[in-house]
Amino acid sequence: MSTKSNKKPQSRVGFKTNEYIVYPAHGVGRIVAIEEQEIAGAKLELFVINFEKDKMTLRVPTSKVTNVGMRKLSEGDIVGKALQTLTGRARIKRTMWSRRAQEYEAKINSGDLGAIAEVVRDLYRSESQPEQSYSERQLYESALDRMAREVAAVRGSTETEAIQEIEKMLAKSPRRGARGEAETDENGQEEAA
């Protein structure tokens, strides 16, 4: 590691300044600096991560990056697979909402784009479908926001364009049609849509 104090982007643990990353609990952020601080008499090297949309700055010790699950943005093929997930049939378990909500929350906070795409797919409601509860809507919007931010960062587009692309893929899903087709639950049993 260089001890020079020049303004070139710094790099640690495979991450560098001005790089966009995914922090599982908060989504897409940008490393704005790598700094050293003395805390309780020990020197600690920290990534300074800015989450512009949330108006939040987070300092993460470089040694804890793996533990917290911080990762680079997904590759284009992973984004493609996540978008393709949206065209599948929603898989909604027949368990209590509180249990499903916990599972959805865990998927959103996992930082895994594929898992987040599953939440978006499962909680999406088209105009012709029944209203969502407040908590369903909150989880859907949280997952959609996380997914859109990463898709936008990877593709170099705006979040609005990413949301439009996501909604276009959701519209291709088999259960999204206006006609009342039968759906099957996870046991293969048919139920009215």
Domains in the chain: boundaries: 14-72, 76-177
As assigned by CATH, the class of the 14-72 domain is mainly beta
* Dihedral, 31, 37, 39, 43 alpha carbons, nearest 10: 110
134-155 and 76-85 helices, crossing angle to 10°: 150
Helix, strand, coil share of the chain (percent; to 5)? 40, 20, 35
pLDDT in tens, 74-104: 998 999 999 999 999 888 888 899 999 999 9
pLDDT in tens, 101-124: 999 999 999 989 999 999 999 999
pLDDT in tens, 5-22: 344 456 666 898 999 999
Could you tell me the pTM of the whole model? 0.79
- Calculate Rg over the CA atoms of the chain: 20
pLDDT in tens, 142-168: 999 999 999 999 999 999 999 999 999
Q: What pLDDT, on the 0 to 100 scale, is given for residue 161?
A: 95
106/119 Cα distance (integer angstroms): 10
**Considering the domain 76-177, what is its CATH architecture?**
Up-down Bundle (1.20)
The residue type of 166 is I
Both structure tokens of 60: 């993460």
Assess contact for 33 and 48: CB atoms under 8 A. Answer: yes
Residue 69 pLDDT greater than 50, yes or no: yes
